[in-house]
Amino acid sequence: FVFHVLNDPTHTSAIWAAQRVPDDHVVVIANMFIIREINVSDSANFLYSDNMFSIAKQHKLWAEGTPFDFTRVYSDGEYAHKYYSGRRMWGAARLLAPSLGLRPEYGNLKTDAPYPFSFRPDRHVAPPDFFRVLRDWYGGTPYD
């Protein structure tokens, strides 16, 4: 599971959501929420706090009857500047699943959701692959 948590408006409780990662997938969490649309009818793959919807509705962050995108509703977006998180998400995907053909450019990571929550790597991932992702500096790309 990926678990995201933030304090509620009273600072005495929390708002949280969790999404199961498929067994054959990886996720990239680069200092930003990544859980998107919450499927309330799928309790095997999505868990969330009882106050998640009511607080979003109360603060006019979400309208009942529309899809609930946790990141769009509760995330502050990318920390520091555009591409701070998204470029790292793209970088990991380009190394582990180049077949996805994900693009490094996007409009707004918080609202556009250009990258999937999780993805299946093109081949088995071993510890050296994780080291390669963590050491990556976008070598051989325009961002090198």
- pLDDT tens by residue, 81-139: 999 999 999 999 999 999 999 999 999 999 999 999 999 999 999 999 999 999 999 99
Is there a contact between 43 and 34 (Cβ–Cβ < 8 Å)?
no
pTM of the model: 0.94
User: In what order do the strands lie in the sheet containing 46-48?
Assistant: 2-7, 14-19, 46-48
Measured CA to CA in angstroms, residue 50 lies from 71, 80, 99 at distances of 17, 31, 39
Sheet strands (E) in the chain: 2-7, 14-19, 46-48
Contact 36, 111 (CB under 8 A): no
